[in-house]
Every structure is written in structure tokens, then in C-alpha cells.
Structure 1
Amino acid sequence: MEITQDVEPDYTFHKEGCTANHLTPFDKPDGFYKQGKTLNNSQRWQCKVCKKKTSILPNKRQSTTYRQKRNDILPMFAKLLLNKMPISRTCDILEIGVGTYYQKLEWLYRCCLEFLEKYETTPLDNMSFKEMWLNTDKMHYNLNNVRKKGQGGQKYFGLEDSQVQTYVVVSADALSRYVFRSDVAYDWEMTVEDLKYDTVIYKEDHLNDFSKKNNRLDFSYYPQEPSPKDTQQPHEYRAELNNFNKRMQYVDGLHVNPTYTTIAHYWLIKQLVKASEWRMISDNDSSIITAFFRVFSKEVRTYDAHHFLCSIDKNKSRKQCLEEFDDAKSDLLDWGFHRGYETKNLRKLAYLSLKELFETHQFHSEIKTPKQSYNVWAKNPITHPLALRDKGFHRVDCTTDLSSLEPKDIAKIVINVNDNATNSFIQQIRRRLSILERPLMTARGDGKSYIYANFNPKYAQYALTILRTFYNFCETYKSADGKELTPAQRLGVTNKVFDLKDIIYLR
């Protein structure tokens, strides 16, 4: 988990031979005089014995401009970043270079980490939830396929044909839409030299996958020339080495297995959020399901965690979705009228419909043996009675055992199963971040162009964290109750709407 800390240089507060050289103003301020502040608003201290004066570095609250040139452009930089402005256009508007752009991006990212440490980590540490609804989804994008510097010429002809696919894992609270994490499945600190060293030291090319130190990476070892007793043929080794070298022509670092990323993703959320019971919603993605059952294995065994599948037919047209939405509304009202219910509230009618359904329907089946009986997932989904305007009907299934719950309790749970939380944030990613937008059709119409995609996933992670902070604390949305609140307000971690200057200057 990334945290921010103030820089602590090795200060010298005393002259040589000073009898009080063991004292510092941090632990014994009584041994020093305060001698005012510098132009950067940092405190100046003077030893009472040797009279040596020392200035310390200012913290974020004392000076927002320390070691920052053109600090005045940060608010506009943040607005351009969050409004899909390409990098080159941003540089033209702000009159900065590309190097400065990435420096400002990293500075803004660190500002967001500081802000989250104060307004997310600290409040959540003092809160506990009876139920936590997690909605997880995975989006993918292709890195810009431009070769690294020095990899041009006929020697590398045809190299740009391949696309390097990268995954982003997003988890949000299904009820408040608060996004807890958005992580890129990429390790930008791993180098080829580190991989070569680990391969030689640990003999990773001869180990089973579960024993490899770097099995989380798309290339878990550096190809080694086969020894006399190896079963690998020389031509197989050359082909493997050629594939590895081709990958290294594109971008530094290595991709991480999505399952590993999601496991780490869930583990960090579990450390951040205190909840008695967990409810998880996802599509039928094996990497997400595997990660959930590993991280929440104890809670699943004690029936305190349940996993729901939300399946949507993405081949429907917008017209079909709207027709299904209208049909669902009419069907529920007709059903309620014939059952004698006076209410016309669709959510209440959907709950009553589900309650009646679960008197007979089960998501599991019972397996009996001579010694015991146990329940297994029956893969028996239902159609959710509430259709959505943009998606139509969606199907719901449960992979965990709900046999200990009454039909009314199952209905209360299933009524909340939808993927609106992650869909809403992923739409914001596509619409607000230029480097993560959907691919464009080429002018010839013969393929897709990833012209705005970034070269390094590290900067995608920076941009996602900035967007997540803005989305959670600054963007309000109107819900069924008619209130305009941010996701952070709905979750209860804050009671106000922030703006970009609050994040940048940590007001």
C-alpha cells in the first residue's frame, strides 16, 4: 500500500564539540531558539549552546511551491488531464515541455496520495460496516505500440504489428459507488537484469509455476541455453529467446498476471475496510472469482462472504434494452396488481417477486454420499426483475452457499446485485482520460488505432489514482432519493464536497 512521508534529510544542528550535540528540535525543542522562517516558510532553529543556525525543509502545509517551478499551472493541468486533453495539446496550452508534463503528473499523483491518506485511510480506520458490497470489474487497453528509442531500422522491421494488452482492475462499493482501488496489472520496476539474476540464482527456468519467484509476470524467467541434459531443443530455445527480446523492444517493466493483481487488490481493500460481512459482484471472470475465494476464504467458510455473478448480454441494441426496461416495468406492475399489492414502487414489487421466487428456487444443489451431504453451485441463474435502461435484463447467480438464509433475506440481497458502480467509473475512465480512451478507427477503416494510448503503464496508474480521487470526493451524482452527493459522502467518510484545489494544496 502506497503511503506518503515527508522528506527527512540528515540535519546538522550543532557545531563540532557542542555539548548538546545529541539534541534535535524534533524531540527536544526546549534546547533551541526559534529564529523565524525562511522565504520558503520553513522554520529556522538555533542551538542554545553553540549558537549554530539551521533551516529545515518545509512540509506540504508550510509551502506548496517548494521545489516546484510553474506551480501556478497545477489546477489548470489537473482540469486538462481530467477532461481528455491529449498530452501534446496540454503542453501547447500550458507552454511546458513533455518532461515537465510528466513531472507535474507525478506531483499531482503524490498530492492525491496525501489527500487520500487524510480523508480516506484515516476515516475508514475508525469506521466499521455490517455489510460491504464490492463490485469488481476488469477493463483492458492496449499500450501504444511505438518502439523504444534505438530500436529502429530494417533490423526491427514488422515489430510494431503486435499490441501489448494491459488490464486494469477496479473495485467499488455497489451502494455508494465509492471506488476503493483501481490498479494496473503491471510492474514497472522490474528490469531484465533482475529477471536474469533471479533465473540464474533460483534456476527458475527449471521450476514448476507455483515455485517460481516471478510467476506473477508474463515472462517469469529469462530463457537459458539448454544444458546437455535438458529436454528443450536448441530451436525451441531460440524461438523462446526471440519472443522475449521482441517484448523487450516495446516498454520497460513487465505485465503482471491479472489473478495475482486482483489478489493483491482484494487484500489491500480488506486491510483498508473493516466489515463483518462481504458481498461481491462480478461477471464470470475466472481471475476475479479465484482472487475472491483466496482472499476471503475464511469468510466464505463461515458464510460471512458471498459471491454473485451479474451477466449481461452485450449484443443487445439500445432499442432492445429500452424495450426490455419498459416490459419489466409493466410486468412488475401487472404482477403486483394480480397479487393484491397496493404499492406501485418497482423496487418493493421486485423484492416481493424475488421473495416468492426463492421459496422454490435455489442457486445450489445438494450432493449426498454415504457419509455426508454437501451443497455445490448448481449454475442455476435467475433473471433480475428490474431491467436497466441501457442494459435491459441481466441474469444473477450465486457461487456460494445461501442455504442458511431465509427466502426474504436472499431477496433483500439479490435486489442489490448489479454492476452499475464499476461501469460508472470505467465510463469515466474512457471519457475523461485521453491515454485510456477507446481505440479509434483508422482513416482507411482497416483496423483500430491506439494513437492516444500511453507508452508506460506507470503513468496510467498515476492518472487513474488522480481520477479516482476526483471521482470519489469532487463529483456529485443524483440518486433515487433526489440528493446530490459525492460517493465519499454516501459512504460516510466525509460530509463535504471538495474541489481540485483542496486536493492539490491539501486545505
Structure 2
Amino acid sequence: MVRINSVHNKEEDYEFHKSGCIAEDFTPFNEPEGFYKQGKSRLGMQRYQCKVCKKKTALTPDRKRSTTYNQKRSDVHHLFAKLLLSRTPVTRTCEILEIGRRTYYDKLEFLYRRCLEFLERHETKPLQKVTFKEMWLSTDKMIYFLNNVRQKGMGGSRYNEVEESQFPTHVVVSADVLSRYVFRSDVAYDWDIALDTVLQREDHLNEFAKKYARYPRYSHYPMPPSKNDTQSVSRYFEELAQIERRMKYIDGLHVGSTYTTVAHLWLIKQLVNATEWRFVTDEDSSLITSINRVFTKEIRLSDAHRFLCQTDKTKTRKQAREEFVQARIDLNHWGEMRGIETNSLRKLAFLQLQELFTHHHFYKKVSTASRTHLEYADNPILHPLATIDRGLRSIDCTTNLSSLDPKDIAALMMNVNDNATNTFIQQIRRRLSILERPLTTARGDGKSYIYSNFNPKYAQMAITILRTYYNFCFAFKSNGTRETPAQRLGITDKKFDLKDIIYLR
């Protein structure tokens, strides 16, 4: 994940001398005295001439000096980005821009690299200078189905054995609850792997001992059974056929979602300087396990707390709206019964929670022969503030809050929601055609993933492009102001546009 989110200048192999030059070991970098400076090229790069053989050589511009070097159809970059973020299918984009599919994916990779460079300048460096007293992080996963296709030359009647037509692929998203800034969005897929399991000989080890255990289905390369092996020869050939068949399809392997989430959270921990952490997730075991592993010390010292937020997704929109209206009525009635003179639903909700936590606890006391300790009680409550599209939500806390007063616990619970990740996931579905929801087939007997992406490599690139645009260019109105998530987080004071990202202005 560090590798695919880093950009490095291409190392050029320059020829500064003619064949047979006696100074062929000299370069302008190690022996500048052996060269004349012959002005600059039309792209602004220095031109050198060898003093012995008189050969002239101009340096290649780096990515910061030229956005058009080695780029065909550089005039379509801005329109390409707008079409990509407007859920325009690949074929329609190629027709509008009059480019081929190969050029389309070249432009996608170019824009992805530009976004990484923009994030390095406007995200990584500013976050190193900021320390947050309290960071509220909402983490969630979405699943899209990958269209599994064969590599070129692997089709036809000779390859009758096929793999599953669709693979469920996980995307892990983490965003700030308060500003809705999306810190990371990672696809659980490794498209640049080196299958050296033949050298490791790990086919008979436990999963936890394997180097490639993060690949659930292909964590080892099958080895022929030995004399003392209990594996049959037929079983060996079955496993060998499976992995050889997989190699005929698109490059890369799916990674276990827990491995991806652990790395995802660890990288956020290195990126963000925070004194205390607050996590909001659903009951996904991979998310809970990852938080416990990455933030073990902080949880033990009560510097980190983990909250659960659950919504009943079987409700209709009508039922959700009815709950929303009824929750407002109940809050106002509760305030009138206690003589509270305010029309602020948020203030009423806070006071109601404060009263509730004088007797309600998310933990229980367990007594043993030697001592008494606290355990998670699995005792959730309904948040008094409902939403118009999802109704009431259930909230809980799995860490120890016994040292806090009811007022402090109520203040924490007021912030427990998953709106930040839900909003960004909806943006993924609505803005990226390769990750949109499945369509109903013409017969009406199932779902069709006709527009679904066939290579998670490009899904990762598209989501990163969308994340950059969403954080720095997409302003939304809240509390009377219209700002981008980056402005609300406090790492920038202006709204950017796509041209700022493409041309690094």
C-alpha cells in the first residue's frame, strides 16, 4: 500500500558520449568540469556537451516541470477527469474524447499520479504540522463485484475450465466524523505480487506461519507430496490446477480484508498526529480486530474509545421518515415534561443522554474469587436524534468509559454516527461507473455487473482520484458555511479545482 501510493521520478539512462569516447565514464553529475553548458531545451531543461567528443545531450524534464512530456493527447486531461467523475462509462468516454482504450487507461494512471503528488503537497505535509486533541475516525467497508476476465491469449476452446465470473472485492474507507475528510480508501487487492511461494515451500504450514497468508485462496504454491505426506497425489494435482488456472486471468490476488484494514489504520496513525482517538464502526469483526491491534496501547490507557453504530437497513424510506418525525416529537415532549425551555433538538438530545447515563452503562462488573473487573455488556441504546433517510440508529461503546461522568459520555455519544463514510461510499457508487451498483437483467432474474471493473488496480486509482477531488474540490454547506472537507479539517484555506490537481498549480 505504501508502494502504490508513492510516486518517484523515472530514472533516465542518459548517453552523454559518442561511441569510443575516452571520457565515457564522466557525467555532468559526477564530473561537471568535463562538460559545457549549451543552454536549455524548449522544455526548460539543461543541455550539456561533452568537451571530448562534442556530443550534446538534453536532460529529460521531471514531472514537476512538464505535464505534457511523453503524454499523447494532453489536451483532453481536464475533460477526461470530469467525465471520469461523472459516472461516464469507459466506452462513452472514448467516443467523446476520440481516444482508444489503451489511451484511456494511460490517462487514468497519469491522473492518479497527479493526485498522489497533489496529496503529498497538500495533505501529507500540512498534517505533519497539525496536532489534533481528539480525532473522530469513522471506518467502514463496501463490497463491489469484480468481473474476472482472462488475460490476452488465454481464451478459446483450449481453456474450457473457468473460474468464478465475479469476485467480491472489499474497499476500506476511513473519514473524519466531524469534517468528513477521507484520510484513506484502499482496495483489498494486490496487483503487483511476486509469487515466490515455490521457494518458500509453505504448502503444509499453518496459515499464521505463511509469508503470503494475506492471500486467502492462494497463500502457497502446491508442492509434490513426500513419502511421509498424508496428502494424496490427486489432491496435489487439484490444487496445482487451481493455481495454474488462476494465472491465466487478470494479474494480482485478493488480500484478506483484515490484513488490508490493519495496514490501512496503521498508515493513518502515522499520518495523523492525535492525542486521543475515537472510532466509529459497525459490528464488522475485521474492523474491530484491526483497531484493537493497531491502537492497543491507546485503548489500554483510555486514550482511544471504540463505538458501534448500527442501522436497520431493512427499513423502507417511509418507515425511516416516520421514525424521524416521531423522534422529534418525543424529544420536544421530553423537554416540556422537564420544563426545559429550548427548541434546539441537539441540546435536548444531549440533556436526555446525560440523564440516561446516570443509570445506564455499556459495561458490567464481573466478580471472581480474587478480584472484580469490568467487561463489555453488549447493552446498546437508540440515539435520540434520527435521520430522515435511515431513521433511528443503535449506538454502543466497547471500551471502558467508567472513569467519565454522564455529561462527558453524553458529549461523546452525540458525535457517534457513520455519515462521513456513508457519504463518500455513496459518492463512489454515483460518480464512478466501474463501481456503480449492479443493474437488473432484462429477464429480471438476477443482477448484471456489466459495467463493473475487471481490474482492481484501476478501481484503486479511480477511488484515489475521487477522494482527492472530494476532499479538496467538493464543497458542501453545513452550519451556514460552504467549505470543502480539507477546509473544515484545517489543512487548507481555499477550495481547489481539477486544474489545480492536474497541473499542480
| Same structural fold, with TM-score higher than 0.5 when normalized by the shorter chain | yes
| 2:190 aligns with one of 183, 187, 190 | 187
Query: Does 2:463 correspond to 1:464?
Result: yes
Distance in structure 1 (CA, Å) of the matches to 2:482 and 2:53:
60
AA matched with 1:131? E
* TM-superposed deviation, 1:166: 0.7
* TM-superposed deviation, 1:340: 1.5
Distance in structure 1 (CA, Å) of the matches to 2:174 and 2:130:
19
Distance in structure 2 (CA, Å) of the matches to 1:332 and 1:302:
36
* TM-superposed deviation, 1:69: 1.5
* TM-superposed deviation, 1:84: 0.7
Note the alpha carbon deviations across 1:25-79, whole angstroms, 9 max, x for none. 9xx9999876432122223356899987542222334322111111010001101
The match for 1:145 is 148
SS at match of 2:136: strand
The match for 2:66 is 63
Alignment of structure 1 residues 286-325 onto 2, 5 Å: 286-325=285-324
- TM-aligned CA distance change 1:160 to 1:12, over 3 Å: closer
Alignment of structure 1 residues 155-170 onto 2, 5 Å: 156-157=159-160, 159=162, 162-170=165-173
The match for 1:442 is 441
AA matched with 1:327? Q
* TM-superposed deviation, 1:327: 0.7
Given that residues 28 and 48 in structure 2 are in contact (C-alpha distance below 8 angstroms), is that contact kept between their aligned partners in structure 1?
A: no
Note the alpha carbon deviations across 1:345-368, whole angstroms, 9 max, x for none. 111111111111111111111222
- TM-aligned CA distance change 1:442 to 1:355, over 3 Å: same
TM-score w.r.t. the length of structure 2 is 0.93
* TM-superposed deviation, 1:3: 2.4
Distance in structure 1 (CA, Å) of the matches to 2:14 and 2:39:
18
The match for 1:131 is 134
Alignment of structure 1 residues 64-213 onto 2, 5 Å: 64-154=67-157, 156-157=159-160, 159=162, 162-191=165-194, 194=195, 197-198=196-197, 200-213=198-211
Given that residues 134 and 280 in structure 1 are in contact (C-alpha distance below 8 angstroms), is that contact kept between their aligned partners in structure 2?
A: yes
- TM-aligned CA distance change 1:407 to 1:9, over 3 Å: same
* TM-superposed deviation, 1:454: 1.5
- Provide the identity percentage: 61
Distance in structure 1 (CA, Å) of the matches to 2:90 and 2:278:
39
| 1:24 aligns with one of 29, 51, 54 | 29
* TM-superposed deviation, 1:223: 2.2
Query: Does 2:7 correspond to 1:4?
Result: yes
- TM-aligned CA distance change 1:440 to 1:245, over 3 Å: farther
Note the alpha carbon deviations across 1:296-325, whole angstroms, 9 max, x for none. 011011111111110110000000000101
Alignment of structure 1 residues 382-421 onto 2, 5 Å: 382-421=381-420
SS at match of 2:223: coil
Distance in structure 1 (CA, Å) of the matches to 2:336 and 2:161:
66
- TM-aligned CA distance change 1:349 to 1:48, over 3 Å: farther
SS at match of 1:69: coil
AA matched with 2:103? T
Distance in structure 2 (CA, Å) of the matches to 1:243 and 1:58:
46
The match for 2:426 is 427
Distance in structure 2 (CA, Å) of the matches to 1:162 and 1:307:
38
The farther-off stretch of 262-271 and 222-231 is: 222-231
Note the alpha carbon deviations across 1:477-497, whole angstroms, 9 max, x for none. 111x12111001000111111
- TM-aligned CA distance change 1:37 to 1:208, over 3 Å: same
Distance in structure 1 (CA, Å) of the matches to 2:67 and 2:354:
57
- TM-aligned CA distance change 1:158 to 1:447, over 3 Å: farther
Distance in structure 1 (CA, Å) of the matches to 2:400 and 2:253:
38
The match for 2:363 is 364
- TM-aligned CA distance change 1:246 to 1:55, over 3 Å: closer
SS at match of 1:468: helix
SS at match of 2:166: coil
| 1:216 aligns with one of 214, 217, 241 | 214
* TM-superposed deviation, 1:289: 0.7
The match for 1:500 is 498
Distance in structure 1 (CA, Å) of the matches to 2:35 and 2:336:
81
Alignment of structure 1 residues 230-249 onto 2, 5 Å: 230-249=229-248
Distance in structure 2 (CA, Å) of the matches to 1:43 and 1:346:
65
- TM-aligned CA distance change 1:58 to 1:356, over 3 Å: same
Distance in structure 2 (CA, Å) of the matches to 1:349 and 1:189:
53
AA matched with 1:489? Q
Note the alpha carbon deviations across 1:361-406, whole angstroms, 9 max, x for none. 1111122223332211111101011101111000001111111111
- TM-aligned CA distance change 1:233 to 1:125, over 3 Å: same
AA matched with 1:123? P
Given that residues 351 and 412 in structure 1 are in contact (C-alpha distance below 8 angstroms), is that contact kept between their aligned partners in structure 2?
A: yes
Please report the RMSD computed on the Cα atoms of aligned residues, expressed in angstroms: 2.5
* TM-superposed deviation, 1:155: 5.1
Distance in structure 2 (CA, Å) of the matches to 1:220 and 1:173:
34
Note the alpha carbon deviations across 1:180-208, whole angstroms, 9 max, x for none. 111000011125xx2xx32x332211111
Distance in structure 2 (CA, Å) of the matches to 1:14 and 1:413:
68
Distance in structure 1 (CA, Å) of the matches to 2:64 and 2:160:
52
For structure 2, list consecutive stretches of 5 or more residues without a partner in the other structure: none
Given that residues 429 and 464 in structure 1 are in contact (C-alpha distance below 8 angstroms), is that contact kept between their aligned partners in structure 2?
A: yes
- TM-aligned CA distance change 1:413 to 1:32, over 3 Å: farther
Number of paired residues? 499
For structure 1, list consecutive stretches of 5 or more residues without a partner in the other structure: none
SS at match of 1:334: helix
Given that residues 82 and 433 in structure 1 are in contact (C-alpha distance below 8 angstroms), is that contact kept between their aligned partners in structure 2?
A: yes
Note the alpha carbon deviations across 1:438-474, whole angstroms, 9 max, x for none. 1111111111111111111101001011000001000
Note the alpha carbon deviations across 1:200-221, whole angstroms, 9 max, x for none. 3322111111110000002101
SS at match of 1:277: strand
Query: Does 2:386 correspond to 1:381?
Result: no
SS at match of 2:416: coil
SS at match of 2:96: helix
* TM-superposed deviation, 1:87: 0.7
Note the alpha carbon deviations across 1:102-125, whole angstroms, 9 max, x for none. 111100000000000000000001
Note the alpha carbon deviations across 1:245-304, whole angstroms, 9 max, x for none. 444443211100000000000011011100000101111001111111000011011111
- TM-aligned CA distance change 1:58 to 1:336, over 3 Å: same
- TM-aligned CA distance change 1:23 to 1:103, over 3 Å: closer
